[in-house]
Structures are given as C-alpha cells and as structure tokens.
Structure 1
C-alpha cells in the first residue's frame, strides 16, 4: 500500500510541473481552454467525472483551433485521470495520437510529455515491459530541455517497475539516479526524502536491515513534519516495524507510538487502524498480550465503523488469535482462528477472481494489440510501396536533372574554352605590346644616358672653360673689371648648375624616390650655406625602393628649389625648415620659414613663381599649397607614387 501511494505521488508531481510558454493564436479562444483545464484540476479529486468532461472539452476545442499548448496540456491531464479511473485503452489512444502530433511538431517538451503519458498508461495497466522504453524516451527529451526534476521523477517510476520485477540492482540504480538530480534542489525536501524512502524499502525487501534503517533515517531528516504528516506516518511505521522484527522493542514502540499520535492528529482513521495493529503486533512479540488485546479492540472498532477491506480484518483476527493464545483463552483463540481462516479464504478467492479478470483483460488487450499490429503491418506495406514509388520518381528526376545539367555543363565548358583561347590571344598581344614598350623604354633610357654624357663631356667642359676664362679676365683687369665680365661669370656659373640638374634628371640611375630625397637634401644644404639663413632638415628615407619618372623627379626638385629661392629672396627670414616624409602612398615635403609672410596676389613676379610650382606638381599628379601667416610661410608639396609597376613607367 505504501509503495502504491508513493508511485501515485511521484506521477502526480511530474504531471503538475509548470509548462513552457508558447505563441497562441487568439487570447480569447486560448483563455477558454486554460480556464477549463484549471477548473478540472480543482475538482479532479472529488468530482473526477466532471473534471474529465472539462478536460475533454478543452482537448476537442484545442484541436479545433489548432492550439498546441492547450492540446498537450489537455492530453497530460486527461490521460492521467483516465488511468486513475481504469480506462487505460482510452488513455493509451489519446497518448498515441499526441505522440504522432508531437513528432510532426518536433517540440522536445511535447515529445517528452507524450512518451510520459504512454509510460504512465502502461504502468497503471500493469504492462511494465511497455512502460520502460517509453519512460526512457521521456527522460531523454526532458534531459534535452533541462528539466532534470522531471527526469528524477521518471527514474523513481523506473525504479518502482524494476522493484516489482525483482530486479533489485537495477531498481536501486534508478533510485540513486533520481537522488542525484533531486539533491541539487535542497528546497524540494520531499523529493529527496522519497528517494531515500524508496531505497530503504528496496533494501528491506532484501533483508539488508542495517542499510535500510540508515536510508529510513536519512529520509526522516528531509521530511518536514508539519507539511508532510502523511509521509511521516508511513516512514515511522516502517522504521518501527523493522525494530520490532529485530526485537528492539523500545525503539519499535517509540516510532509506532509517534506514528499513532500523528495519525490521530491527521484525523485519518485508516492510518490510525494500521498503527494500532502494528503496536498490537509488537506487544504480542513482547508477550504483553493484554495490552495487545486492548489495542486490537480499538482497531476492530475503527475497522467495523469505517467498513475497511477484508485484508485489514484478516490481520486483526490473526493478532487476536495470537493474543488470546498467550492469555490461555483457547476457546476465544479458536473462534478468532476460524474468522481468520474464513476471511483469508475469502480474500484468496477474491484475489484469484481478480487474477482471472486481469488475465482475461490482458488476453483481450493482447488480441487487440495483435489486430493493431496487423493493421500497422498493412500500413507499413502501403508506406513501403509509396516510398518505392517515390524512390523511382526521384531517381527519374535525378536522371533528367543529370542529363540537363550535363548539357549545360558541356555548353559552359565550351564557352569557357572559347574565352580561354581569346584570353590567351589577348595575353600574347599584350605581351608583344609590353615587349615593344620595354624595347622603346630601353631605347629612351640609352638615349637619355647618351644625352646626359654628351652634355657632361662637351657642354659641361665648354661652360667650365667660359667660367675659368671670365675669372682670368677679372683677375687681369683687377679693379677695372666691367659689369659685362661679371655677368658672363655669373651666367656661366648658373648654367653649370642648371646643366648639372638636367643631367641628374636625365640619368636613369637616379630614377628612385630615395635618390630624389638625397639630392634635394644635398642641394638645400649647399644653397642655404651661402646665405645668412639657418637650415633645419627633418628628412626620412623610404624603407622600400620606389621608382620615379625623370620628369617627376625634376618637377618635385624644381618646386622645392623655387620654394627655397623665395625664402632667400623675399621672406626676410632667419631660419628655414625642410621636411621630407615618405609614407606608403605619397611623399610629403614642407618648406617653412619664420619670415614676414606675404599676400599671394601682392607681387606679380612672386605670383608667377607660385603658379609655376603648382603647375609642375599638377603635371606629376601632385599638388602644391602655399600657406602664408604672420609668423612665416609654409609651402606644402604632395607627390603621390605612380600606381603602375616600375618597369611600365615610360621615362621622359
């Protein structure tokens, strides 16, 4: 009886767990469904038929409006109540329908609830072998959604099934699994107590009394007496029974007396009857037959008043016979023995009748399952034929797709070959053009080298000779030197400088960014050295080798030269700064002085020089910006590097 009560408790606990929120089609419709379910739960214990009607209405309406949450909640409650009413076939039918719907819906929670309903139905109808795999499936889905408390309840029910089949090691393993989940939630003390209680009952059946008592005492630590008096009564009665069997009568009387006190406090006559019988049995074992008889009188009065079953009367008659025999009242002993034997025979006949009825029921269920299996076999054959038909259709479709795909692939491959051939011809043409360009470039480079060499050898020598001769004339004439001679000397010196710059720009060996930076820095130092200005250089070299066209080098250099020349002639400055900073994409140059500044439109000669600077940089793709201020002028030059490879730059 205690074990049956335990299974009822754990099954009910999992069925009343909170549900997950889902999207619902209409607040008005769905609220009607949930209201029906709530009303049914309130009256389920006392008005089971009315509650079942509410569940059925909610079930049908949920199917009508396709309300998934209401449907599975209705199945959960309706299957449980139908099983309690013994209508297992109906419960199994709605649970199977729910499972099919859950498989289409693919919700892990709904799958878990459907398998759980099927497992409970099998358990209630005594089909334990069918219950086990369904419980295992339910545990799998509950574990996936993280509902470990549900898994613990399933482990409890599996433990009960294995215990009924006398598979004690498997039962103990399931109870321990349930405890491993429940122990994580210390607030749920009752579930932990149930786990220990189940293990204690199991060990008691195996006569492992010391281990059993240890688990009973652990269960006692977790029970809250004020909130779970019924559980406390069962626990104390079991502990007292064990102590009585071990002849530890003081402990037995204590626990059985406490159980009797709590049963009276609870106001449950059936509990009080059982506790009085247990105390009477202990007193009989202690040979205190008078006390036992007094307790039996009270239990007999309660049994008669409450019309209990034959099993309770049989136990009372047996203990009466033992007590009267101990008091040497043999006539009364014989009377009680006759009553005991008669009741026991009636009870055995009743149990035999129930066994026969159960056998007939199981036979009908087996026949029904056989018919169902035959129908399922026919359905499977039809499904197999349909699948074969679909397979051949799919195969034909794949064949057609393969043929069409092959044709498309062949066409695309042909087009690709055509494009590849055209690209090869185009590449060959470009290669030829590149070879011509490179040949032309090499010719230009040779011509530039020849021109620079001839200018250096011939024109340079002539200009140098003119300069020397003008200096000789100046020396011979002394103070009588004419302005014309001075001018010849100055012009020849300027022409030598200009010629050197032209030769530098023509020489292909100088076609690099770092060459430009080095040449410009050297020129600035030499040029400013002959003035009263102080030169400050902030020059960096490029970490990578960057090729420049000769015209670009010349334009950048002449722009810097013009800026330095303007500082010397017009700025009236005492200091000039030359900054050259190459980065990844461009060369930045600044020529800044601390002079008096100027207005660009004030002097026409200066304005023309500035325009020339800007035009030169524009020709090379760069820019030149003049920034005047009261504290001086700053010329900012930006030269972006060419974006084509160095070998493709046409030198000019």
Structure 2
C-alpha cells in the first residue's frame, strides 16, 4: 500500500497518493509503528508541496522528523530535512533552503546514505543555477548527482537530472544540447508514467523553441503540458505553462491571445500567492487564531448582547464588501500598470537587441578593418592613427556590451548586479599588472532593484577601477562587496600615488560624477586619498533605498 502511494506521487497523481497514505496511517497508528508513520508523514509533505500547499507540507515534515527522532532513525531525519530544503527552494527562500541542505548533508555523510547525498548534490545544483547564476558549478553538481543516480539505476531521478541539465544549457544558450537533455528526460518520464515530469519537460522544450523563434513547435507542446497539469492538479505547473504560452503567442504576433492568457496567469498567480505563499507558511498559527476568534463570537452569541453581535457582523460585512470592491479597483489599476511595464520591458529588450545586432556589429567591423589596415600601412604616423582607431573602437564595443547589460530588464536584481561587477572586475584587471584582491559575497538575495540603482552602481565601480588602472600608478587593488541586513557596501582601495584634487581637474570631474551617481539613488560616497599612500572609495546604499527606488519606476 505504501509503495503504491509513492508510485502515484512519482507519477504526479498527488490526490490519490494522499488518500492511500491516509488509509495506511490509520493502520500504522493502531500498530504504533513510528518508523512507518515517519515515512508516511514525509510523503504527505512531498505531495502537499507539489500541490502548492507549503504550510501543510511543512507541518507534515516536522511531524515526520519528530517521530524519526523518537526512534533515532537518522536516515529518515536526513531525507526529510533535505525535503524541507527543497520546499524552501520552491518558495524562493534560498537562505533557509541552504541551511537545511547542509544539515541533511552532514547527517547523510555520517551514515553513508548515498541516495540522499545524490539528492542533495542535485538540489545544490539548483542553488547555483537559480540563486547565484553560477552555471559551471551548477553543471558540476548536476553531473555529480547524475552519475550517482545512473550507478543506482534510479530512473525517476535520472529524468530529473536530465531536465535540470537542460535548464542550465538553456541559460548558456546551447539550445540543441538543452533540447536533447529534455528529450532524454521526457522519454524516461513517459516510460515511468510520471505526469508531472512529462508536463515540465514539455514546457521547458517549448521555452527553448520560443528562444529559437520556433513558436509553431513550442505552442503544441505547452498546450499539451497545460492539459496534463490540470489533470494532476498542479496549479503551479499549470500557471508556469500558461505564462509560457502567453509569451509564445505574443512573440508570434497574436497579442490579443497573449494578453488574454497573461490575465489568466496573473489571476492564478495572485490567488496562489494570497493563499499559500507570501509569508503564509505560518498557516498553522493562523488557523489557531481563527478558531479562537470563532469561539469568542460563539460565546457572544450566547449572551444577552446578541443584537450587538449582529450589528458587529453587519459592519464587518460592509467593511469586507468595501475591501473587496477596493481590491478589485486596485487589481484593474495593477493590470493596466503591468501592461505598461510589459511594453517598457519589450522596448528595452528591443533596444538592447538592436544595439547588439546593428551598432555592435558595425563597431566590430571598424575594429577589425582598422586592425587589418594597421598591418598594411608603412607610414609611422598613419599607423599610429589607425591603431588608435582600432583601440577606440574596441573600447566602444566593450562599453556597448556594458550598456546592453544595463538596458536588459532581466538583470535588475541584486544578485545579477553583484555577479556582473565581480565578472567585470576579474576580466578588466586580468593582465593589467595589478595584484587584484576581490572579496565578493558567495550568496546574494535575488531581490529586484531599480534600473537607476543598477546603472549608477555598476558605472561607478567601472569608473573607479578605470581611474586606478590609468592614473593611480598602483601595484595592487582591493575590491570588497558586502551585503548585510541594512545595506550594500562597496570599497575600492589601491596603493597608488593618491589624487591631487587641486591640480587634477579631469579626475575631479570624474569623482564628482561618481559622487552624484551614488547620491542620486540615496547612497553615501566617501573618498579618502593621501599622497603616496593610495586612494579608497567607499560606497553604501541601504537596501530600503534600492527597493524604494524600484517602486518608483
């Protein structure tokens, strides 16, 4: 009976799996079989998590761990702890997910639990992929997990790993390899009858075909996935598929159909967020408080002040009606605002693409032509000018790439900003004759920030590093980025000759520009420079300012 319930879960039939688990739980409770009870509650948690009921899932996982601790079943504790980490990852609470994965890994290593270690490697790959955008490390973890599952012959896990590898290759723009991985995963999922994974792979393949501009291939796959998601009762998967379908119709030019689907997606997203997400993992406590209030109302109804209770209920109904009406008005305004944001998003993406395709290719041709001309010119003066043209056009290409990155609205998150600054610093300082010391956080919150903050912070760091390389005469540079609970802090320090602010007019203008950039987003900018002792630039911007600026867009 228990094995059948797990098999139904693996096939995406969550409601039937829960029904069988409930029947088996009655038997286990009568027999006082805590080991089986712990397994049942763990599987309850898995089913509820995939149904989008995270509060109920967490309650079941906690019950499973409590039972396992009573009989010292360390294997069950490790696996359930890992599942809690997966649940937090699904709700984008990556900091809690990492804590749970590390706890589970420590327990699994102590008892040599290879299957759980393989699951953790897979889930850590998800962390690298989704949170840190560190795709090489994600591939490393996924490949490690895949080899363990292949050795154990766990086909359901193998299907998941091929799906995950397909996602990473998609982000790396290796579309053919991505589709190949999804097809491998789909073939195994169809063999196993895993409807959830079948639908997930269909949506993922549809997304890649959309990226390739092949919407006629994408749309049938995604429509099939929507039907399967409805069949198995997975609202999150259905919502993701509808969003993808809306995007494909919009790309195809059927904007009316795309907008209608986007409204369906928005409605589903708001409903799911208000019921199961947005801080509602404390649902158990909320239910308790609701029951307490209901008892208080019942007690009032039994008193001689029934009339007052009726009046209170009427007032409450009026307030609720007003709030519902007001909420409807707000939602309509939000839909209009979202349509404007979508138009802005598409326009910024179009501008970035046009710059890359037209201006970028033109500048690249200028650089290449100038380089070829330099080899043919014999006159020293002309050769110098041609080489200058080549160098200037190369700098323009590099600057254009930075501008395109800033224009891309998908990059306006704190983790993307920190990742891009780290990448730029490492690439730019390589081969410059400086000893770079780069200290960046290993984990950054993927929170949205304003486009203005993204642009001003990135270009301030870029300007500061350029000044060190070109003017400081330094032999080392220290770049530190710290994110605490209150603010983002950036420090750039060199051991160069310092800045004579009274005599260096051009540097003074550049420093003023950096100061104005930071102060315009509500941050602080501090310059400390001494002759022959170097220069330190310190920037701090509160997280509230970054978020507040975002709301102002």
TM-score by length of 1: 0.36
Q: Tell which structure's C-alpha radius of gyration is larger.
A: 1
> With CA pairs under 8 Å and 6+ residues apart, which has the higher RCO, 1 or 2?
2
TM-score by length of 2: 0.42
